[in-house]
Structure 1
Amino acid sequence: MGAGGRMSSPSSHAKVEPDRLVQKRAPDTKPPFTLGELKKAIPPHCFHRSVLRSFSYVVYDLIIASLLYHAATTYFHLLPRPLSYVAWPIYWAVQGCVLTGVWVLAHECGHHAFSDYQLLDDIVGLVLHSCLLVPYFSWKHSHRRHHSNTGSLDRDEVFVPKQKSSLSWFSKYLNNPPGRLLTITVTLTLGWPLYLACNVSGRPYDRFACHYDPYGPIFNDRERAEIYISDAGVLAVIFGLYRLAAARGLAWVLCVYGGPLLVVNSFLVLITYLQHTHVALPHYDSSEWDWFRGALATVDRDYGILNRVFHHITDTHVAHHLFSTMPHYHAMEATRAIKPLLGEYYQSDDTPFYRAIWREGKECIYVQQDEGKPKNKGVYWYSNKFD
C-alpha cells in the first residue's frame, strides 16, 4: 500500500487465510503533512470551475440517455419476444449507469463544484436530482455533514459502523453466504429509499429522522425552507410520472424509468458503501477523531470503464473528501499530484466492485478497538468475529 498502492495485495509478512482479506492497515496517527501542503502540490487550475465545461457533461449525459430512451421506445417492441426480454434488462443496466453519471453531476452542484455561482449550482442540482427522485437540498445538507464528520463514530451521517455490543441479535445468523446475499440484496435495492425516508444506516438521532421532514433533527432552522423546495421538486416529478402512467400505462413507466432508477439507486449505495468500508480503514470516537484523519480514512475504488461513466467519483474519492469543491474533471490530475505526498495515507483498491461488495460484506461486520490497546485510544477497526 502507499502512493499508487493496491489494498488488495497481501502484506509480505502476513499469512493469507483462505477466502479472507489480509492487508496492512492504513496509518491512524496524525499525518506528517498538512492540508495546505497537499493543496500546494495540486496545480492551481485544478480548482477552477468552468460553467461551459460543467454543462458539457450534463448535455453529453442527457443526449446519451435520450438516445437510449429513443432506441428502447422505438425499436424494442419490434423485436421477437425472447429478444425483447433480454433487451429491456440491458437497457435498464446501461441507462442506469448513464443516469448515475447525471446523479454525480447533481452531487457536484451540492458541493458547489459545478460553477462559481451558488444559485446556478442549486438550480441545476435541484432539477437533476428531482428527476431522479432525490430531495436535492435535503441530501446536500446531510451530505455536507458527512464530509464534515467522515470517520467519526459519533457524528458521521451515513454508513456509520456499529460496535459489536450494538449489533442486532440476528446479525450473527446472517454471517454466512445466504445471509450475506440477502443483506446485500436488500441493501442495494431498498437501502437508498430507506435512508431518505427513515435514516436507515444513518447517524442515530434522539428522534425519528427523515430527509423529507423540514423539521426533522437532520436540519437546522436556516435549512428548513429549502427542504420544502426539495420536497416540492420530488412531488412534481412524481406527479409527472403519475400522468405518464395514466397516459401510457404503469408498465411503460416502470420499463422506461423504473428499471434504470433501480440501477441508479443500487449504484449510489454500492459506491458510497465501498468508499468508506474496508478492513484497512480506521474509524475514530470523539476522543481521537479530527477532520483531517477522517477525510483520509476513505478509499479509491476501480470500476473499470464505469469510472468514466460515473465521472470519476469512484477512483478519486480521497481527493474529493480533501477538496470537495474541486470539479470532477480535475480530480484525476489532483489525485496524481497528491499521491506521492500522501504516501501510506493514500488508500486504493482495484478489486472488482462485485467481488469487493461480497468481501466487505463478509469482513466488515462491526468495529472494535485492538485488544491490549488502551481503551481511551479511540481508534476502531473492522472485524467479523462472533463468539
Structure 2
Amino acid sequence: MTIASSEFVGEITAKVESKSNTPTLPPGTTLRDIIKTLPPEVFVKNTPRAWLGVAFSLLAVGLGYASIAFAPWYLLPLAWIFTGTALTGFFVLGHDCGHRSFSPKLWVNDLVGHVLFLPLLYPFHPWRIMHDRHHNHTNKLGEDNAWYPFTAREYAEIKPYERFFYRLIRGRFWWIGSIIHWAVLHFDASIYPERQRSQVRFSAGLVIAYAAIAFPLIIAFGGIAGWVNFFLMPWLVYHFWMSTFTIVHHTMPDIQFKEGDRWNAAQDQLTGTVHCDYPAWVEWLCHDINVHIPHHISTAIPFYNLRKAHKSLQENWGEYLYTTKFSWELMKQIGDKCHIYDEQDCYRSFKQAGF
C-alpha cells in the first residue's frame, strides 16, 4: 500500500483545511439527466462475465487458504492479508446480488448472495435492506445509515458507551467500524419493518447455523490456532477493507451531509460520493468496488461495467467528481478531522467541537 507523496499529502491537507467547495449542478438537473449521459451498454447484465467474477474470487480465496496452510509462520501475515482481501471480493459480488445487478433472475441473486456472504458471517437480506436505505438517502442527515456523522447535539445526547465506540471508529480504529455495524444492525429483526422480518430472520439464522457447523469443524481439525489462522485473521482483514472502502466512499473533510429539505438526489449522489484509487492488486481482488460514483448514479450497473461508466462520467460531469488516492495519510486526515458534523465547516474534530 503506497504512502502518499509530499505533494499528495499537501493536497489532502489543503482539502482538510477548507470548507466545502463542491460545485453545484446546473439548476433543474436530475439524477435521470445524469443517467441518460451514460452509455446504454453499462446497464447490460452479462451472465458469463458475472460468473467469471465468481470463478476468479473462488480461485483467489482458494489460493489464499492454501497459502495460509503452507506458509511458514513469518509469512502468515501476508497470507492473511491476501486471503482477507480476496474474501472482500465475495462481498462485492454479493453486493451486486443485493442490487439485483448480478443476474436477471431474482432467485439466483438471492442464492448467490447468501452463499457468498456465508464465509463472511454476513446476513444477506438484512444487509441488502439496510444498504438500499443508504442508497435512497446518501449523505442525508437523520436518514443515511453508512458512517452517519453525529452533530454536536446528537453526540451530547447519546450514552457514554456509545460515545466511546463512536470516538473509537471515528479515529484511528476506523477499521473496526464495519464489525460494529455488522453486529448491531444485522441480527436484530425488531429494527426492520414487519413485512421484512421473516427475510431478516432467515438470513441471520443461516449465518448462525453456518458458524455453528464451520467453527467446530475448523477447531476439530486445526485447533484454536487453526480457527485464528483460517477464519479470524482473514475475517479481520476483510472488515478492514469493508470499513476503509465505506468510510472513504462518503467521508471527506469537505463533503457535506444535508438536512432533508436541502438534499438533492442528483447533487448529493454525484458529488457526495468519492472515487478513490487503491493499489491495483486490491482493485482486482475487490472487483473495482472503489469505482463508486457510477454505482451511486445507478445501482443497476454491474461491477464489470463500473470503469466504463466512470469514464463516461469523467467526460460529461468531470468537474463534479471527487477523486482521491488511498494512503495512510488520507486515513489519518479523515480520522483526525471527521468527527462531529458541522453545517458550516462540514466536520470538526472532537477537540474543535468542545468534546
Tell me if both proteins adopt one fold, taking TM over 0.5 as the criterion: yes
1:295 matches 2:283 = no
1:237-252 → structure 2 map (5 Å cutoff) = 237-239=210-212, 240-252=214-226
1:26 matches 2:13 = no
1:235 shift after superposition? 1.3
1:307 matches 2:288 = no
- Cα 1:29–1:365, aligned 2, differ >3 Å: closer, same or farther? farther
1:250 shift after superposition? 1.7
Tell me which of 317, 339, 342 is aligned to 1:342: 317
Tell me which of 139, 152, 157 is aligned to 1:151: 139
- Cα 1:259–1:123, aligned 2, differ >3 Å: closer, same or farther? same
Look up the match of 2:163: none
1:31 shift after superposition? 5.4
1:235 matches 2:182 = no
CA distance in 2: counterparts of 1:326 and 1:96, whole angstroms: 25
1:367 matches 2:341 = yes
- Cα 1:186–1:338, aligned 2, differ >3 Å: closer, same or farther? closer
- Cα 1:282–1:356, aligned 2, differ >3 Å: closer, same or farther? same
* Unmatched tracts of structure 1, length 5 or more: 1-5, 171-178, 199-209, 371-379
TM-score (normalised: structure 2): 0.86
Tell me which of 284, 297, 322 is aligned to 2:297: 322
| 8 Å contact kept, 1:138–1:212 | yes
CA distance in 2: counterparts of 1:182 and 1:139, whole angstroms: 20
Tell me which of 105, 116, 124 is aligned to 1:128: 116
Kindly provide the amino acid, as one letter, of the partner of residue 79 in structure 2.
Y
- Cα 1:241–1:267, aligned 2, differ >3 Å: closer, same or farther? same
* Unmatched tracts of structure 2, length 5 or more: 1-6, 159-165
Pairwise CA RMSD: 2.7
Look up the match of 2:161: none
| Count of matched residue pairs | 336
Query: Over alpha carbons, which structure has the higher Rg?
Result: 1
Tell me which of 151, 171, 174 is aligned to 1:187: 174
- Cα 1:187–1:338, aligned 2, differ >3 Å: closer, same or farther? closer
SS in 2 for 1:311: coil
CA distance in 2: counterparts of 1:24 and 1:192, whole angstroms: 26
Q: Report % sequence identity.
A: 25
Deviations 1:288-317 (A, max 9, x none): 113223312111111121222211111x21
TM-score (normalised: structure 1): 0.79
- Cα 1:50–1:145, aligned 2, differ >3 Å: closer, same or farther? same
SS in 2 for 1:253: helix
- Cα 1:168–1:249, aligned 2, differ >3 Å: closer, same or farther? farther
Look up the match of 2:243: 269
SS in 1 for 2:242: helix
Look up the match of 2:58: 62
Deviations 1:103-140 (A, max 9, x none): 11111111111111111011000111122100110000
| 8 Å contact kept, 2:30–2:265 | no
